[in-house]
Structure 1
Amino acid sequence: MRKKIIRYILPVLVIALAVTVALVMIKSRKAPKRITPESLGPMVETMLVRLGDRPVTVTGTGTVVARRQVEIIPQVNGVVTKMAPRLVQGAFFDQGDFLVKIEETDYIQALEQARADLAKAELDLALVEGQAAIARREWRMLRDEKEEEPVPLVVYEPQLASAKATVASARAKVRLAEVNLERTRITAPFNCFVRTKEVDLGQYLRSGTMILEVVGTDRVEVVVPFAQDDLAWLHVPRRQNGQGSEALVTMQVGDEELRWQGFVSRVMGEVDNRTRMVNVVIVIDDPYGLQRRNGPGQELAVGSFVHVQVAGRHVKQAARIPRSALKMDDQVWLVTSDNTLALRPVEVKRKEKDMVLITGGLAEGERLMLTSVNGAAEGMVVRLRQGDDTP
């Protein structure tokens, strides 16, 4: 009986004791101290301000046009008897390369006839010169003492002048016949490619009719409209064949950006009435890569639409910052040494597409905030992104 009582009462006592201890511990514990978390502020990206001489970059777009293009027109008539095997639209030729041959039989005969006429005229001149010499000797023998000079007709002076004129005319006809014979062979006037072809074997050509249009390959031009204010930053040569500011011409082809170096050649002499822009001509040498030692490069073909960056004059002691960092009323946010924001007004010298040149209001080594922070205010605490430059 006693064992049964102990077996039932003992667990109850243990549970009661545990509950009592737990209640005592709960009532005797102290409340935890309230800890206010430190405000670290938003994370921002910054850059260090660097002052120096900064080149102004003027950007624009334009279309590639031919610097030299001519229509080849035969100066003699005749049937085409021979053509360059590769004379097709788009083919490239060097200066002096053979293009078209016109039948020359008639012109060879004309040259032979002209040479024969010249020989006869020279013979007639020699006869008249002999007759004139004999007439002058006879006049001297028979002349009257009162006559100082003979009558021109007596000493064959008119006949001599006529014979000399006939010889000169015959020589001119020989030169013309030689030139016409040379004109039966048409060659490339300069390094070029064929844009238009209107000739074929067996075709009868008439002088004055266009048969080919060729475009020069040594140089091309890009006509770029710029605002008049931009011209003040560019070096434009005033002398013919001068080179002005350097230019970088780029064109996107798929995933690749192609580049060519050029220079400012000249400015068109008028302002567009509608856009109030001025056309600047950029020149690019060897646009088809034909003169490169390692073979042809990427072509900058006539008609291509390209982007142009022209290196202008330098601005002294200026900072170049992203345009997105410039806020309203020409102000910027700086991050101080204690990682707080400070709003600073600056002097803007020039605004470009993506960058701004600042000439006042910033000091060397100051930290400029690039991140746009909503609700930014003076004294606001910020965190610097890991890896940013520090002063």
Structure 2
Amino acid sequence: MRASYLIAGAIALAAAGWIASGVLSGPAEPPPAESAKGPEAAPAADEAAEAPLAVRVATVRAIPHVSTLTVNGRTEAARKVSIRTETSGRVSALGADKGETVAAGQVLVELALDDRAARLDEAKALLEQRRIEVDAARELAASNYTSRTKLAQAEAALAQAQAGLAAIRLDLSRTRIEAPFAGLLNQRPVEQGDWVGVGETVATLLELDPLKVLAEVPEMHVAALRPDPGGAADPTTPRVDIRLIDGRRLEGRITFVSAEADPQTRTFAVEITVRNPDHDIPEGMTAEVRLPLRQVMAHRVSPALLTLNDAGEVGVKLVDDDNTVRFLKARIVDDSPDGIWLAGLPDPARVISVGQEFVLEGQTVRPVPVSASSPTETPADAAPKAGNGLETPPPATAGPAPMIGARAAGDPA
């Protein structure tokens, strides 16, 4: 038993001695291949590490831009009237079918005259009789053969006969129901032979040219809207872009802005007038309305240039005069199919277009300008050769600074 303890102790002492020999002897000498590199390797590595990264930058200039507000709306006829009868009678003739376009003054419904013609002849005869009576009364009064009271009674009867004739003529004219304006006959709830009383609806007329588009605007934007009732009176007034639910696009002008807010929604009613010469846009269609608000100086850039800072804020990275990266929080004033509009950037602004995700704020970089066809061209205008709406510049000459976000043709992916 004691012999086994001695053997184990001897083995432990031998292992400890072997380990201690490696610690005391120090690290082994480097291989000949590593020591053969010489002192030139360190400066080259430092130079590569210190060389500023190259990024592509686009010079963007601020231009006047009218910011817009997009709201939902609906089409509505400029005028819509329900035409009612002013006399009673049987429908004897119809001047137009529903769905037809009618002219102003065109007969829509005609009622039967019935005994109106006879009553007209009666009124004419009575009027002639009253005139003769008045003439005779005046001759007698001039000769003092009758009192002036009799003359006054005759003149009153004459006036009554004149009024009766005018009334029957008015009733006759009301048997012809005409269109008060040119428009579309949308409804005609009567047919020939129907009997209608006073005040019954016989037609509904819509004026579809011009056409109105109604929208509701939040109270924070209503002060920026500019009504243009005269249209051509102010050619500088921005036009309103309208897209119908079926994809058709229209252009109109603001003709009315309500001075009273809706008590429930706190929005203001706005009317936009558009042309509809073919009457092919009906009332009640849903529309997307882009209302012009105010003109601001803004930069138009591609949405691909937006990035995030450490605080999670959306913005763009710029290169200042010292070639230092700066982050500016984006203040988006508008968006359009060809880019977004930012306010608050310096003018001109050198925006990093390729490589913004690989550099940090405060880092020194080597900017490579993006070629443009004009000094005012924005990133959204440049030819899309780099996949982000910017034109790829010619390959840079060989140098120590690597290019971030691009590679030459033939390089491995």
User: Does TM, scored on the shorter chain, surpass 0.5?
Assistant: yes
Aligned mate of 1:280, from 246, 249, 270 = 270
Shift of 1:357: 4.3
Report the RMSD for the aligned CA atoms in angstroms: 3.8
After TM superposition, the structure 1 = structure 2 runs for residues 24-103 of structure 1, keeping only pairs within 5 Å, are: 47-84=58-95, 86-88=96-98, 90-103=99-112
TM-score by length of 1: 0.70
Distance (whole Å) between structure 2 residues aligned to residue 175 and residue 165 of structure 1: 15
Aligned mate of 2:152, from 152, 161, 164 = 161
After TM superposition, the structure 1 = structure 2 runs for residues 1-391 of structure 1, keeping only pairs within 5 Å, are: 47-84=58-95, 86-88=96-98, 90-135=99-144, 156-236=147-227, 246-253=239-246, 257-284=247-274, 286-287=275-276, 289=277, 296=278, 299-315=280-296, 317-321=297-301, 325=306, 331-335=315-319, 341-345=325-329, 348=331, 351-354=333-336, 355-358=340-343, 360-364=344-348, 366-369=349-352, 374=357, 376-378=359-361, 379=363, 386=386, 388=391
Distance (whole Å) between structure 2 residues aligned to residue 232 and residue 320 of structure 1: 25
8 Å CA contact 1:224–1:279 kept in 2: the answer is yes
Shift of 1:87: 1.0
The more displaced of 319-328 and 121-130 is 319-328
8 Å CA contact 1:197–1:212 kept in 2: the answer is yes
The more displaced of 230-239 and 257-266 is 230-239
Distance (whole Å) between structure 2 residues aligned to residue 351 and residue 372 of structure 1: 25
Residue identity matched to 2:282: A
User: What per-residue deviation string (whole Å, max 9, x for no partner) do you get for residues 31-70 of structure 1?
Assistant: 9x999899997987x6542223322323222011222111
Shift of 1:279: 1.8
8 Å CA contact 2:333–2:341 kept in 1: the answer is yes
User: What per-residue deviation string (whole Å, max 9, x for no partner) do you get for residues 84-128 of structure 1?
Assistant: 2x412x222121122111111322222111111111111111111
TM-score by length of 2: 0.66
Q: 1:272 to 1:353 in 2, by over 3 A?
A: farther
Q: 1:219 to 1:357 in 2, by over 3 A?
A: same
8 Å CA contact 2:80–2:206 kept in 1: the answer is yes
Distance (whole Å) between structure 1 residues aligned to residue 102 and residue 97 of structure 2: 9
Distance (whole Å) between structure 2 residues aligned to residue 242 and residue 169 of structure 1: 53
The more displaced of 63-72 and 49-58 is 49-58
Distance (whole Å) between structure 1 residues aligned to residue 227 and residue 138 of structure 2: 65
Residue identity matched to 2:257: V
Distance (whole Å) between structure 1 residues aligned to residue 151 and residue 299 of structure 2: 87
Distance (whole Å) between structure 2 residues aligned to residue 160 and residue 212 of structure 1: 49
Q: Aligned residue pairs: how many? A: 322
Shift of 1:368: 2.5
Distance (whole Å) between structure 1 residues aligned to residue 74 and residue 91 of structure 2: 37
Residue identity matched to 1:259: R
Residue identity matched to 2:346: L
Q: 1:187 to 1:42 in 2, by over 3 A?
A: farther
8 Å CA contact 1:56–1:233 kept in 2: the answer is no
8 Å CA contact 1:345–1:361 kept in 2: the answer is no
Residue identity matched to 1:388: E
Percent identical among aligned pairs is 22
Distance (whole Å) between structure 2 residues aligned to residue 179 and residue 370 of structure 1: 79
Distance (whole Å) between structure 1 residues aligned to residue 89 and residue 238 of structure 2: 50
Shift of 1:356: 3.6
Residue identity matched to 2:84: I
8 Å CA contact 2:109–2:178 kept in 1: the answer is yes
Shift of 1:261: 2.3
Q: 1:126 to 1:344 in 2, by over 3 A?
A: same
